[in-house]
Structure 1
Amino acid sequence: MTVDPFGTAAVRAAALGAWQASPARLREDANVEEDHARGYYRDRVVVELAQNAADAALRAGVPGRLLLRLARTEEGTTFVAANTGAPLDESGVASLASMRASSKRDAGPRAVGRFGVGFAAVRAVADEVSVLSTTGGVRFSLRDTAAMLDQAGARVPALAEEVRRRDGSLPALRLPLPTDGSPPSGYDTAVVLELRDEVAADEVRVLLRAVGDPLLLALPGLVEILVEDADAPPRRIAGVHERWTVASDEGELPLALLADRPVEERAARSWRVTWAVPRGGAPDGGAPRVVHAPTPTDDPLDLPALLVATLPLDPTRRHVAAGPLADAVLEHASAVYAALAATLAAAGEDPLALVPTGLPAGPVDAALRPRVLDALGRMPLLTSAADPGRLVPAALAVALAGPVRPDALAALGGRIAGLVTLPHGRETQARALGVDVRSLADLVEDVPAAEPGQWLELYEALASLAHDGAAREALGSLPVPLVDGRVVRGARGTLVVPPDLDADALAVLAGWGVRIVDPRAAHALLERVGAQGADAVALLRRADVRRAALDAPDDEQTTETVLALASAGPLPDDVRAWTGLLELPAADGELTPADGLVLPGSAAADLLDPRVMAPLARDVLDRWGADALVAVGVRRDLVVVTVEDVLADPASLGDGDDPAALQGQSLDGWEDYLEHLGRVLGDGAYVGQVAAIADLDAVDDGRLVDVLARLARDPELRRAVLEPVRSETGGTASSYTAWWLRERSGLDLGEPFLLVGAHGPLVRSAPEAVRGLDPELQRALGGVTGPGELDARAWSGILARWEPGTEVPVDAATAVWRWAAPDEVPDHLPALVAPGRIEVVPAVEAAVADAPMWWQRTDVAAMVPASDAGRAAAVFDLPRAAELAPGQVGSGGVVAPVPDAVHLLLRDAPRAWTEHDDLTVDGVPVEWWVQDGQPHAVHLAGLASALAQCAGRWDLRYALEAVLVDPARAVEAALDQLP
């Protein structure tokens, strides 16, 4: 017989009596239980049972240990939550069987549950619940509740009707029943849930996987949790303070703050706050990013620490109830949070990791953040740069933005009060606390200019700061001394030059506005923070130097300055483009631009016309030397220049205001060449660099052939002829030099010619000027191997020279039909005007023969017998013969078999043909024809042509004729076709 130590019969009788007296009360109790089980506590069964376990341990004053076991039985899956602590008593049973009437009203300040609703969470997963304790046991059963209500309903029809309407959704936790059993060994109480189904089992299994350190932190009454699941290895969770850094505080609240809280809560005046961060690992240790009050709520909290606080909750127990009480607890929480940060700082860890950034995640987060930032800002947390053993509060701190090496900070710390060291990546957090985070540039601006001789010492001390891009940018405001005695702020725009450059030239450049660093202060730091290293070429490339020099190209000081820089080494084409305008004395004493002069006795003096390119004065050559003079543009030989950023469009040229902007300024016919590139590559095509030989128009007329010979021998000059110009889309065109020699040299290279040793129709022989050149150069100057290599322009010229009625040799006509591709549709072209006669005819009188049989139909049009009829029709814009006449064979004729010997040579030849005495097509006599694949002919030669056309082997028509005349020759003819 089951003993009833807790008086459950009286509890049941009271509940049943209440329901019988007022069936609406049953409805209210059922709705409340359903709301808590399916709504407020739908996913809280593990947390709520753990909370009850923690409170039981606190009431008994013992360490709380909790066993969470999920086990399969024959009847289904059972979930057991066993705990140490105060066992079940009569008031506890009454509390379990009621809603919001907790037995923990007088629990201590660390008690968690006190409102009598958490136990309802078991109904989310179970209909049969037992609570077994060392003092006895009770059970709750939906099945038994339904049976008892059926009996009671028999006497109260209204109650029976309410039960029926609820369709099994009944308040199972209101009617406790005594039961036998005991908790697992070592535990004082166990809650046993017979899980409703496998879905409920999976829900509990998910909740068990989430059990970890955060639960122990939230429930200080627990010191150990054992998790046992048949589907997973067992887990023991204990020693949480070994893995977490924790800061806690507690106290008592003024009674006035609880005035608006429910009566059950007004006695709970104590508050407690705990903040925790893991020792390493994830910022939140994997805990849910929510407020714990003290168990998890649904209020998000995006702070990098776990918060457990006795915050007031709304009736759902899932959200913090806003109001003065919550504000007071959050004030205490912010102070504890700052204490946690101080603990981290004292331990050498990063306290700024706790500073919140970004937007708040919810209302509690939004209320807590400003309080936290204020508390952290007043706490000494930041390490002094000058004294690492001293901590500085954020309100008094100055920090450098960006990563800075400690030794550099230490050097600056002695000069800047309150300078602190920030952990990497914590600038945002520091600013949030009120730290004066300043750029290195701002700090450097406060550094006074050094005394003479101390510049290098200052730069060396700051050099360690320029270890990355951000720091180098910040140091850009350093004071920098210049050669003219001035001190400027910022290295950007200054030049560090080699020590061997001419001092007088540097002084002149400084007078032109060039900011050159005093060589006594030259340090690698300056180039790292914005100064530019500049050699002689870089100085001459500067726009301000170019403008100043060109404002007075005949000034002696300007000339000496440029020549002094040029003597340091060769100058590139873009610099020579303007230094060539410096005026130097010619042999006759006349001031002449440098690029209009030649060195006396040089190859340039031998090849170039002295009326165009005058010799340089001998004394100037003796003073400066040939290399410096050649560097600025004086000619010693033919010169290859490189024009940059070329567009195939004459409109792309500069307007002449800036000589360096004029592309191809020393290249004769450059605009015409750009127009040529536009025709070949497309208007506006970008071709980038173009290498070209300059001053070709200055070559003495009698020496052009000698220039060609020199091009053949000199590799650099040769490349300027041979290398084609390429557009970015992949097209190619001839080089400027090759174009100039063909179009403007007067060497009769304007039209294509045959390479020496080549033969072919339509193309002229090589001119005398190129016959001594190798084939590669001949090709670059217009040489071809035959008409198949002619370009569109050449074809247009050939066709334009022929007059209508002119008889054309067959090889020339065949070349036109096969290869011609003029850039414009020709007005005249060669065509068959009668059998065996080819003449030039107006294009409007011609048509393309679709097949050889149409060659006989010159009555239709002059025929163009192209091997590719489609191509010829497109190139010459001609109709096809079949479009002009139907090609209908006349009546008559006798069908005869094609001799078998033919098929030895042409296996696919037709098996029959039609023999005619008189064959007409469209009423016009012909010798043979093919209609619908059927050969027609008046004799064997015609049959051979028809069979060859049918088989697509026009090349075999004469062999076929021989076989038709003498079938015995079939084998011989077939053997001729072997490779």
Structure 2
Amino acid sequence: MTADVFGTAALRGAVLEAWRASPARLREDANGEEDHARAYYRDRVVVELAQNAADAATRAGTPGRLLLRLAHGDDGSPVLVAANTGAPLDAPGVASLASLRASAKRGTSTREVGRFGVGFAAVRAVADEVVVCSTTGAVRFALADTRVELERVAAHEAAEGRGELADEVRRRDGSLPALRLPWPTEGRPPAGYDTAVVLTLRDEVAHDEVRALLAAVDDVLLLALPGLVEVVVEVEDAAPRRLADVERRWDVLTAEGELPLALVADRPVEERSARTWRVTWALPRAGASLPGVVHAPTPTDEPCSLPALLVATLPLDPSRRHVTAGALTDALLDHAAAAYADLAGRVAASGADPTGLVPTGLASGALDAALRRRVLAALARTPLLVPADPDDPLVAPMRATTVRDLPDGPAVAALGLLVAGLVRLPPGPAAAAAARALGVEERTLAEVVDELPTGAAVDWAALYDALDAVAHDAAAREGLAALPVPLVDGRVVRGPRGVVVLDADVAALPLATLDALGDWGLRAADPRVARPLLLRLGAERVDAHALLRHPVLRAAVLGQADDDDLDHAAQVTAAVLDVVAAAGTVPDDAAAWLGLLTLTAADGAAAPAHGLVLPGGRAADLLDDRVLAPVAVEALDRWSREVLTAVGVRDDLAVTTVPDVVAGVAPDEDADDPGALAAASLDGWDAYVLRLAAVLGPGAACGDVAAVADLDAVADDRWDALLAHVARTPALRVALVTPVRGEGSGASADSYTAWWLRTRAGLPLPAVFALPGAHGLPAALVPPAPAVLDGLDAGVLRALGGVASLAEVPAVGWSALLERLGPPGTVVPLEVAAGLWRAWATGAGPGEAPGAVVALTAPGVAEVVEDAVVADDPRWWQRASDAVPVVPVPPSGPDGVRPGAGAVADLLDLPLAADELDADVADDGEPEDVPDAVLALLPGAPVRWWRHDDLLVGGDAVDWWVDDDGDVHAVHVAGLAAGLAWAAGRWGARGALEHLLGDPDDGSAALDVVLG
């Protein structure tokens, strides 16, 4: 018989007596065991066994070692053995195992995990028979033994006439408490261990479930149960696993202390003595996975989104799956947050990035949200962030500043020397989100730059070099817009825009000139801080040439005209001419306002540069000295002819370019733009742009227009010489002969120079004249070139109005040309009229409907008339009369197509004859066959025609006609030839057809028909 060393008989007797006295007690015990086994602890058998092992080691004060072995027994049943070191089994322990919610650990070490006395019930989830064997003895719990004992007691009571217990056993249908009745048994733990729990697993389903639980055992079990230092997992058909030395793989921080009595006053009685709190945070070093739940210390169902494992002595509900809300939980969460911040601080002090420990995003539950709030508050007070200045200590987020969108690098390091609390964040959005969550002050680069000091102690050159690395980004350049810049005169200004970086040629200017430039407002950077960054941010590197484009010089010259201080005006002139001399050339866009620079004329009067000429030059020869006087000799002595001509003093005729001309729009005289200054120097410019609007359309963009200047100053007796000089000087010639075109328009207008010479010079130039050697231009229409143009080439003559044909006559010239023919009723020679009609057919003609045109008033008679119709084709030429004058349109193309009739009607604003006149043939006539000789040579000709003695169309007598059906009507052979040629689309062959109709054997006529 096995010795009852733990007094199990007494325990069984007490339990059975309680069940006999109250069958409801049996029901309560059975339901409680079933709830814990099948609900609260359904998946925690391994964890609960490990917890008991850890507590046993803690009670014994020895390192805990746990063996978890899964195998099949000799009888084939699956068996789980959980062997541990530590305090062996004793009588109170057996009593605790046989009770529910009455732990034997009351009053023991606060480092023990088990506190409720219900964890052992987890074994019932997988086993109906459990043996606990220790070095001190062994006990067995079995569902079958409980059933036998209850049936015995129930039978005894039934014999006494009481059946309540038997009824309750029957109603439970075998679902009885297996852990209330311990039995002594035999057994020893495996060698090296003090206690073993042996579970005979219920079936293979339970075996598979336990196997999965063992596969999930990892470092978290050791971290949650600090009483264990080793866990060995042995599963049949698998290599054994040993878990130990967990601190090598995890960064662990533990904090503990004692709770005030008030915080545990409302806890269950058996928990009130456990006033020591303990919090452990574990951070994986090698990327191990986290369980994602709070451990207290065994896993709960409370999610935790922080990137570390939390093990804390949090109060739990009876299921040990949820944390109980209240003051105690709040206090422990405070301690947990403080410990987490200490862990993050330790990570930061090691040089690692702590921002990954900062919770961002959404919380995973109420407890997680409460913990995250406290963690963020604690982290904000903890020195975590790397300072931009490497000599400073770590910075707490609540005192830290970052620069938005400024990546870590030299720029941040340089700003860190000047901005307190500036920190360096790792790259990426995660670190930025962490900084925002911690309340790090986020400032724009512009805000930081606005507050930079301007003292002499700042190393501006080093700062500029560091910031240059980020200045390639447009947003960063905008943020640096107010960057302080030391100037050469000792001032510090905000913003590089408007600052100039001087080149060597400017620095070599006379000191008085540099002083003058500074007085005018030129902001020149101190050469010691001149860096590429300043240029990126809008500073302008200027040599003497570029300085001439600077608005400071322009403003000084423009303000000179209103300056009554002659000494100041002389200072401006001298400084500007010094810059021009250093530059060598003048930018095109500066020429106009440099021409306003005040100089002294030979007679001592002050005059703008463009109002003076150089003695002995071409301009002095051609221009009236009463309009443009010679410059003073003193100016020539001080500055070269090249410098004076560069600022506008005339040595030769000058070409002025007016930029961005718009037809019909004259530049505002007060406008601060180059166009206004350039246009102001050109006589009649306002009238010229109106002329452009008339030709090209109002608002037409004409681009830049070059013009010969000072034409209004030409001496009266030098026009011949001027025209010859313009014709042979390339720049002047281009300004004359190049027409102005509007964007998107096929039309063109005369250049300003051509327009001015033709309309304002007083030269005897007709609107249109014939080029020398031109043919087909009768003097009645186009006069010859005037004598003043003798010797000029055709290109210049064309610009001044010369044409080689009527087709070249511009639209604006037709009015004068038609006026030369005389008043309405004037007979016009046919060769002159034919030239007009041919020109109109090509699209040449007046821009507006003329008051009179040349038309046929009878066959072979042309007159000037006020009204007419345009012939759709040659048929209508026969209908011309005094009552209905007809404008012929010569047909074009080998097939006789008449594309020009509608265009001519639009050009002259006249109706088409077909729209105004009746085209009905008065009678049918006599049909006759077209000769075969004609049909053979004229494809497309009709095979029949109609002979008439008198052919009337619309009441008018005609020689031939082709009606809408294509039938040819004629009164004689010549008319038949014309009708057949027109019907066949071979109008040019009508003469040859007439010969062929008279003599079918005429071979020459036949050839002309074929080729015509």
Whole-angstrom CA distance in 1 between matches of 2:299 and 2:291? 11
Q: CA deviation at 1:834?
A: 0.8
Residues 925 and 582 of structure 1, relative CA distance in 2, 3 Å threshold: closer
Cα 1:331–1:679 shift into 2, 3 Å: farther
- Which AA in structure 1 matches 2:556? V
Matches within 5 A, 1:689-768: 689-729=704-744, 732-749=748-765, 751-761=767-777, 762-768=781-787
Name whichever of 672-681 and 460-469 sits farther off.
Answer: 460-469
3-state SS, counterpart of residue 380 of structure 1: coil
Q: Which residue of 1 aligns with 2:816?
A: 797
1:568 alignment partner in structure 2: 582
SS in 2 for 1:961: helix
* Alignment pair present for 1:352 and 2:355: yes
Q: CA deviation at 1:839?
A: 1.4
1:861 to 884, 887, 906: 884
Deviations 1:608-629 (A, max 9, x none): 2212111112222112221222
Q: Deviations over 1:255-311 (max 9, x none)?
A: 99999999xx9999999997979979xxx99x9999999999999x9x895898999
SS in 1 for 2:590: helix
Compared CA separation, residues 663 and 682, structure 1 to 2 (3 A): farther
Q: Using the alignment, how far apart are the partners of 1:182 and 1:650 within structure 2?
A: 100
CA contact under 8 A between 1:476 and 1:530: conserved in structure 2?
A: no
C-alpha distance 409-936 of structure 1, shift in aligned 2 (>3 A)? closer
TM-aligned CA deviation for residue 739 of structure 1: 2.8
Structure 2 residue identity aligned to 1:940: V
Matched residue of 1:578: which SS? helix
Distance (Å, rounded) in 1 between the aligned partners of 2:921 and 2:41: 106
Answer with 902-911 or 266-275: which moved more: 266-275
Aligned to 1:233: none
1:550 maps to what in 2? Answer: 561
Quick one: structure 1 residues 919 and 711, their matched pair in 2 at CA, closer, same or farther if it must change by over 3 Å?
same
Q: 1:811 to 1:392 in 2, by over 3 A?
A: closer
- Which of 511, 514, 521 is the matching residue for 1:506? 514
Which residue number in structure 2 is paired with residue 466 of structure 1? 468
Tell me the CA shift for residue 596 of structure 1. Answer: 1.0
Q: Show the 5 A alignment for 1:643-722.
A: 643-655=658-670, 661-722=676-737
**Equivalent residues in 2 for 1:32-51 (5 A)?**
none
2:662, 2:293 → 1: CA distance? Answer: 65
1:34 aligned residue:
none
Q: Label 1:777 to 1:434 Cα distance change in 2 as closer, same or farther (>3 A).
A: same
User: CA deviation digits over 1:55-105, x for unaligned, max 9?
Assistant: 689689889999xxxxxxxxxxxxxxx99999xxxxxxxxxxxxxxxx999
- Provide the residue aligned with 1:99 in structure 2: none
Tell me if structure 2 keeps the 8 A contact 1:440–1:471: no
Q: Which amino acid aligns with 2:662?
A: L
Deviates more, 1:917-926 or 1:527-536: 527-536
1:710-769 Cα offsets, whole Å, 9 max, x none, are 334333333333444444445554432233233333444552444444323344444445
Q: Which stretch of structure 1 is more off in the superposition, 510-519 or 561-570?
A: 510-519
How large is the RMSD of aligned CA atoms in angstroms?
Answer: 5.8
Structure-2 residue corresponding to 1:612: 627
Alpha-carbon distance in structure 2 between the residues aligned to 1:698 and 1:313: 107
Which of 905, 912, 916 is the aligned partner of 1:880?
912
What is the CA–CA distance in structure 1 between the aligned matches of 2:442 and 2:731, rounded to whole Å?
59
Deviation at 1:548, TM superposition (A): 4.2
Amino acid at match of 2:517: L
The SS at the match of 2:942 is: coil
Partner residue in 2 for 1:541: 551
Check whether the contact 2:659–2:675 (CA below 8 A) recurs between aligned residues. Answer: no
Q: Which amino acid aligns with 1:884?
A: E
Q: CA deviation at 1:606?
A: 1.7
Conserved 8 A contact 1:85-1:188: no
Q: Distance in 2 between matches of 1:926 and 1:289?
A: 110
Task: Quote the offset at 1:852 in angstroms.
Answer: 2.0
Amino acid at match of 1:893: G
Secondary structure of the corresponding residue to residue 832 of structure 1: strand
AA aligned opposite 2:916:
L
For residue 953 of structure 1, what is the aligned residue in structure 2? 986
Partner of 1:495: 500
Partners of 2:293 and 2:299 within 8 A in 1? no
Q: Distance in 2 between matches of 1:887 and 1:422?
A: 94
- Tell me: CA distance 1:883–1:575, structure 2 relative to 1, closer, same or farther (3 Å): closer
**1: CA distance, partners of 2:465 / 2:421:** 22
Distance 1:799 1:530, change over 3 A: closer
- Seen in structure 2, the aligned counterparts of structure 1 residues 965 and 501 have a Cα distance that, compared at 3 Å, is same
* Equivalent residue runs for 1:423-434 within 5 Å: 423-424=426-427, 429-430=434-435, 432-434=437-439
C-alpha distance in 2 between matches for 1:445 and 1:754: 76
Secondary structure of the residue aligned to 2:981 is helix
Indicate the residue corresponding to 2:865 in structure 1: 841
Which residue in the other structure is 1:939 paired with?
Answer: 972
Q: 859-868 or 441-450: which moved more?
A: 441-450
Name whichever of 637-646 and 767-776 sits farther off.
767-776
The separation in 2 between residues aligned to 1:947 and 1:297, in whole angstroms, is: 108
**1:850 and 2:859 aligned:** no
Residue by residue, what CA displacement relative to the aligned partner does 1:529-575 show, whole Å, maximum 9, x if unpaired?
55433444536532542454333274322322222222222333443
* Equivalent-residue separation in structure 2 for 1:782 and 1:676 (angstroms): 16
**Which residues of 2 match residues 279-428 of structure 1 at below 5 A?**
334=337, 338=341, 341-342=344-345, 345-346=348-349, 348-353=351-356, 355=358, 370-387=373-390, 390-397=393-400, 403=406, 418-424=421-427
Between 1:689-698 and 1:180-189, the stretch displaced more is: 180-189
For residues 113-153 of structure 1, give each alpha carbon's deviation from its aligned partner in whole angstroms, at most 9, with x where no partner exists. Answer: x99xxxxxxxxxxxxxxx999999xxxxxxxxxxxxxxxxx
Deviation at 1:650, TM superposition (A): 3.6
Residue 961 of structure 2 is matched in structure 1 by 929
**Whole-Å separation in 1 of the counterparts to 2:80 and 2:527:** 83
- In structure 1, the residue matched to 2:933 is 901
Q: Name the amino acid aligned to 1:480.
A: P
**C-alpha distance in structure 1 between counterparts of 2:547 and 2:752, whole Å:** 28
Distance 1:721 1:363 in 2: 87
**Contact in 2 for aligned 1:466/1:475 (Cα 8 Å):** no
**Counterparts in 2 of 1:89-238, with a 5 A limit?**
182=204, 188=210
User: Aligned partner of 2:999: which letter?
Assistant: D
Whole-angstrom CA distance in 2 between matches of 1:307 and 1:794? 97
The aligned counterpart of 2:593 is 578
Aligned positions, number: 804
- 347 and 648 in structure 1: CA distance in 2 versus 1, 3 angstrom threshold: farther
| Whole-angstrom distance in 1 between the partners of 2:361 and 2:308 | 18
Cα distance in structure 1, aligned partners of 2:954 and 2:804: 44
So what's the TM-score if we normalise by structure 2?
Answer: 0.65
2:334 touches 2:374 (CA, 8 Å); kept in 1? yes
* More moved, 653-662 vs 625-634: 653-662
1:84–1:659 distance in 2 versus 1, CA, 3 Å: same
8 Å CA contact retained: 1:441, 1:474? no
CA 1:431/1:918 → structure 2, altered by over 3 Å: closer, same or farther?
same
- 1:918, distance to aligned residue in structure 2 (A): 2.3
Instruction: State the match for 2:185 in structure 1.
Output: none
For 2:219 and 2:847, how far apart are their aligned partners in 1?
84
> Of 650, 674, 683, which residue of structure 2 is paired with 1:635?
650
* Equivalent-residue separation in structure 2 for 1:922 and 1:838 (angstroms): 22
Report the counterpart of residue 819 of structure 1 in structure 2.
Answer: 843
Cα drift, residue 351 of structure 1: 2.8
Other-structure match for 1:830:
854
Q: Greater shift after overlay, 743-752 or 622-631?
A: 743-752
Instruction: Measure the CA separation in 2 of the matches of 1:334 and 1:616.
Output: 89
Mapped partners of 2:446, 2:806: distance in 1: 73
Question: Could you tell me how far apart the structure 1 residues matched to 2:611 and 2:499 are?
Answer: 35
Q: For the Cα contact (< 8 Å) 1:478–1:489, is it kept in 2?
A: yes
Following superposition, the deviation at residue 884 of structure 1 comes to 2.6
Q: Counterparts of 1:105 and 1:958 in 2: how far apart (Å)?
A: 137
